[in-house]
Structure 1
Amino acid sequence: MSHSFRVLSSMVVALGLFACGGSQQSAETSKSMTPSQAAAPLPSTLTVEEAERIVREARGAFAHPDSQNPLRQPKSLDDVLAILRTDQIDLFAAGVAFAEKDASPRAKALQAQIEIAWGENQRIVAQLLDGLSGELREEILELRESEAAGKLSPADAERVQRLEALLADEAPLVPALSKLAPMHLGKGRVLAETLVNQAPADYEGYRVLADYARIRGDWEKFDQLVKEVQTRHPTSTGLLFLQGIEVAERTRDFKGASVYMRQALAKEPKFARAQVQLFLFADGLDAKQAEFTKLQASSPQHQVVVLVGPVLKEAFDTRAAREKRLRQTDWRIQRF
């Protein structure tokens, strides 16, 4: 098995465990999450070169099922817009490269927004992996305890070895993504600021800067920028997205925030970034699975679909098996 495939597989297992019950951590991560929780920055001591190498090794396995996608070689700004709507990070480099050749405000706005979305997506993956690595270790510990008691089945013994290998492979990806994310966010901010200076009458630069401000948690700046967007383009789909994020972050009213995201999707059904937020806002496994299914339909090669999908199908069975094991443990303790 190649290193890149094992890295990817470890991400699948780690992310999938958020859907499994049995621990305080998994119980919390199956609940509604704000964007800032899902994309909180993490430290990294890697160099940029090291981080890029690690991500490049994983990207081979990630991109393979979608290798014939024509958006990998965009031929117009409409293609770049389509890339942005898919929210598929392994298409972003091609979109940015094409937009860089075009000096128009539209091209610069697309480039800036892709960079912002790129950085946030990397943080989301890194944060989920980091937060759930403890779940992997907890599962291994429970199985090792069964082994010490002489009650480890052959299937569980194989699972221990697989999880330990996957956990070892997963570790480098978290600091790698964490290292690269701020670079993309910074590029997006600079591009948007330049766009505002060059085309102050247009709304796109203000919208991208508002997106950056809310990621930074600068709500005073966010309010100022949103007013600029409302003045110039009050029917912007991106404005609906920003308003939904604001409701989730400032009031934790996830149902209210979801209304904005659904309105955005009604206008642009391929707006995968909004669907990802609905997935994060969803409370409980049933709701998350429902939103995941919608994301899968609109953007089948999205990183959340590719990484989480294989595990979601088994999430309920895994949860039931683990809860049964915990109930058996509780019964033995009570009897003792």
Structure 2
Amino acid sequence: MGVREIGLPEVTRSPEPGVPERVTIWEVGPRDGLQNESDVVPSETKLEFLNRLNAAGLPVIETTSFVHPEWVPQLADAAEVLDGLSRKPGVRYPVLVPNERGLHRALQAGVEDVAIFASATDSFARRNLNRRVEEQFEMFHPVVRRAVSAGLRVRGYLSMVFGDPWEGPVAVDQVVNAGRRLLEMGCDQLSLGDTIGVATPGQVETVLRAFVAAGVSVDRLAVHFHDTYGQALANTYAALRQGVSTVDASAGGLGGCPYAASATGNLATEDLVWMLDGLGIKHGVDLKMLVDTSTWMAERLGKPSPSAVVRALAL
């Protein structure tokens, strides 16, 4: 299977003012995309996946996570995957680190980018980190300080930004306060996560404007949408209109969250690329190679890709 060679449609390009000229696609498929799979994906398959994503031109590929194997068994081979990774010049390969022990392992593996995963709500912080919101910052502070002192770039993920399955809607000021604390402790970028996919475009605009009003430059913000209610692309478009130029996506729409059962797949990278092409926004990704990659991975996982673009273009 692959991309149709005959009659391959091309997106109609209609450049639009008010959106970034270029967007950085932060590919999360190898980490966030695979972490929720029930059957463990072999390390060699993960490495082939990474090689294919490299070839497709993704500028950032979040590779794995140094979490305890009991928490996320799917990523227990983090060190092995990083050791076998064929790094491409100019491409970033961040890894998620949950604590100082995870950071130590990441430093041993020679990584240059790490990410921490915080929550805007107490309920999710307790389930994901076994800590309350305030306590999570106490845990992350030494991690970020050590990473920055070692010359690493640190990304802060903030989950449950737009809604929490246990607490419901999340107050905007609560989100902004949590996000600012991650930036102030040393994170160079903040990714705002719609962990359970409940956000709508107006809500996205409200949250982004609140961050800017609080003194956070929009170029330090990224967005991470799940497509539970089919809103991921609309929400991304709303974020682009607010000036966001880094968008998280997962090849083939893979993904979920092991600590939130209502979280379904991530925004598919192919769907994002199709929209960016239509808006005339540069991104540097080869759509054909990406669709081929997601088709290949879907075959190995034994299930079809949820990406609309993959379904439309694959044989």
Superposition TM-score, scaled by structure 2 size: 0.32
Greater C-alpha Rg: 1
If each structure's helix is expressed as a fraction of its own residues, which one has the higher value? 1
